[in-house]
Structure 1
């Protein structure tokens, strides 16, 4: 039976988040892979802990992905003002907003905000800088392009902070505009949208992406080693969304056999690490649906009735069975349309079979992505990418690495004004305007 954390002695701010977390995140993961709990020490911080995927809010609405207010800058006519090549946001070092790593001249600036004395804040920041940005490919190749600052914030209630949640978990978020104002009272920033903000608070496990990234630490964790184990690679996972990378994990299964509601396929396929059938962004060809025969859910597209489809590999209560790797192996039935690859209303709930041919090294083409829909992802399971399972993976997958490198090169380096980046910048700015709720501006791409 999965272990769920006890409430303990919490302040009112944390109590609201923890109660929501218990009723939402823990219930979901009791069914999926189990809630984290227990201790862990400095020698083996993961001995008694089960990691769960970081819940990142799905885009596709007018709000910021973090749940904060959307405040995309516009001129007086209402049209967006495009940032020009070579124009980067500036942050000046002050006593209350010190530079902790990198140079003020760096193209990308990250501000780490310590909200109301978050536990293990210094260790989390140090780990993010030195063990994530400076050690993980491709970020380690661009250390000169990143600068990191820290500051203290206080008054969660005044900042409009409250619990947030979705089908894949719960976390917290604040009013983005209020947080921006609080930051500007301490930091000299010429364009607050041009920097990446990470707010850390004592709220229990959880994270959400957006114009501001919100990350939960937990004062009930026994030591910093446990905190860093639970939050392993979570900062770069969330920052990856700012750079146009989607979540690769699914959002569970519906017991009635209907598909899990995720991002619309036309939206999800715009992201750098998702695509349509065949994954032409990183594969040159793919095998037909008639050869999709190697996985536990391979029979799904052969069912021509709803009853046959939704009963395959499910218990009487509707729970989906799993394969040897713990991945769901049942089917889902769409009442509205046939899937364009499988040619059927019945499709796998989550694909584990590679259809890609002649693909980028280290990549394939697997059905499902962005919480479960008919987009296709480059890797199979949790250990294969930080964008799939941050705490379970040691690296970004090769497709995500390539996408990150291209954004950094064309939105944050001396190449950003060259002809080689012109078409990329045009396409990426259109993506940010139409499909990217996480960020209005990144380096010299986007809007000011």
Structure 2
């Protein structure tokens, strides 16, 4: 299998604003005898891609590569919380995860316990680094006072600076940005990643079994964003046939679990576009005009049809872009065919990722990765897992000063500064 390598373009600066990274993964089986079946999962939470002109998770729209100095953290420099005691873990642990209970959120204690026990301590690779994480709890009061608001399509977010001030009143810190923060509050179903992660405990969930079912692996999914992983799922397929652009390709392909055609980060080779013939939408690149493209495998109202496996079989049309793999303005709306060859175990190279069709992802379906369908999957895919392991090792262990981590740290600092506008610091990686 190919050796995983996080490749970064050190000169590229993407001048884009990003709305918040919001989980669309449905929940998955909660604990207990009354656990809900997967077929009863709620619909995906809302998904916001860059350029939607929606508020980010902190109420602002951060631009990449702006507003931060480029003084890198030194190995072994970790954020400190000097006036709080972890409820589990050591206060000297490199990664500090703070759970904030906003206005006595429903089932807060159970959600936190599930996150620690069944996610951080049970899922690879986090389970391999248990001593590197410490967990804290605090109470926050005043939804409106903290600049919080409910999102129209579910979930909520607050004003980052106001939340930071409220946290610092209870937990003094030398680097609040270096702390991983999860605010749990009452709202319609939704979760979002960012400098602060927001998780909604839905008012309509009447028992803990349903709550944990719907929120299965959601917190670790959002934490995955902080560690440099992108969403692998799509946004709803447009009925007008216009391609879902999602994140700009130059942005999305910098994330560790997305790539360009062929997925050279985790595959050694790939088949050419002329051999993309297996899936139901393989005809798409041969269609040369908009009408034939946007009507292919769609119902009269524009709904995208699916194949026998539930995969989208229609096409998407781009007015001004010729795809760099298919060489066509007409492309599959979402890819289910693997072009990757000799890939990291269990992975491949599938068209689409980060809410649109500009990138290539390592897995095919919801069940294949927590970064695709948190509630439907019980593990990270091999590409995401290996990327997480390297980030934890080189940003939060005694290895962070080794020669083997030197290149990773340099590249990752560039990634945090230029392509990860939500999170400036992770363990000993990042800049002040």
TM over 0.5: yes
**CA deviation after TM superposition for structure 1 residue 78, in Å:** 6.6
> Per the alignment, in what secondary structure is the counterpart of residue 104 of structure 2?
coil
Paired residue for 1:145, among 132, 148, 160?
Answer: 132
Report the counterpart of residue 310 of structure 1 in structure 2.
294
**Structure 1: 5+ residue runs without aligned partners?**
1-24
Indicate if the aligned counterparts of 1:357 and 1:364 stay in contact, CA closer than 8 A. Answer: yes
**Structure 2: 5+ residue runs without aligned partners?**
1-21
Paired residue for 1:241, among 213, 221, 225?
Answer: 225
**1:403-422 correspondence runs (5 A):** 403-422=387-406
Paired residue for 2:312, among 310, 322, 328?
Answer: 328
Moved more, 84-93 or 129-138: 84-93
CA 1:62–1:176: 2 relative to 1, 3 Å: farther
Say whether residues 1:228 and 2:228 are aligned partners.
no
> Per the alignment, in what secondary structure is the counterpart of residue 170 of structure 1?
coil
**CA deviation after TM superposition for structure 1 residue 92, in Å:** 3.1
Q: CA RMSD in A?
A: 2.5
Report the counterpart of residue 424 of structure 2 in structure 1.
440
Say whether residues 1:107 and 2:94 are aligned partners.
yes
Report the counterpart of residue 426 of structure 1 in structure 2.
410
Report the counterpart of residue 81 of structure 2 in structure 1.
91
The CA deviation string for residues 314-364 of structure 1, in whole angstroms up to 9 with x for no partner, is 011111111223222100111112111111111000000000000000110
**1:278-297 correspondence runs (5 A):** 278-297=262-281
Say whether residues 1:124 and 2:122 are aligned partners.
no
Report the counterpart of residue 35 of structure 2 in structure 1.
45
Report the counterpart of residue 202 of structure 1 in structure 2.
186
> Per the alignment, in what secondary structure is the counterpart of residue 124 of structure 1?
helix
CA 1:110–1:54: 2 relative to 1, 3 Å: farther
- Relative contact order, higher structure (CA 8 A, sep 6+): 2
What is the alpha-carbon distance in structure 2 between the residues aligned to residue 445 and residue 57 of structure 1? 27
**CA deviation after TM superposition for structure 1 residue 381, in Å:** 0.4
The CA deviation string for residues 345-387 of structure 1, in whole angstroms up to 9 with x for no partner, is 1100000000000000011000000001220000000000000
Report the counterpart of residue 66 of structure 1 in structure 2.
57
CA 1:64–1:282: 2 relative to 1, 3 Å: farther
CA 1:78–1:89: 2 relative to 1, 3 Å: closer
**CA deviation after TM superposition for structure 1 residue 221, in Å:** 1.3
What is the alpha-carbon distance in structure 1 between the residues aligned to residue 57 and residue 148 of structure 2? 11
The number of residue pairs the alignment matches comes to 406
TM-score (normalised: structure 2): 0.89
TM-score (normalised: structure 1): 0.86
Say whether residues 1:344 and 2:331 are aligned partners.
no
Report the counterpart of residue 337 of structure 2 in structure 1.
353
Moved more, 252-261 or 358-367: 252-261
CA 1:41–1:248: 2 relative to 1, 3 Å: closer
What is the alpha-carbon distance in structure 2 between the residues aligned to residue 70 and residue 442 of structure 1? 20
CA 1:71–1:382: 2 relative to 1, 3 Å: closer
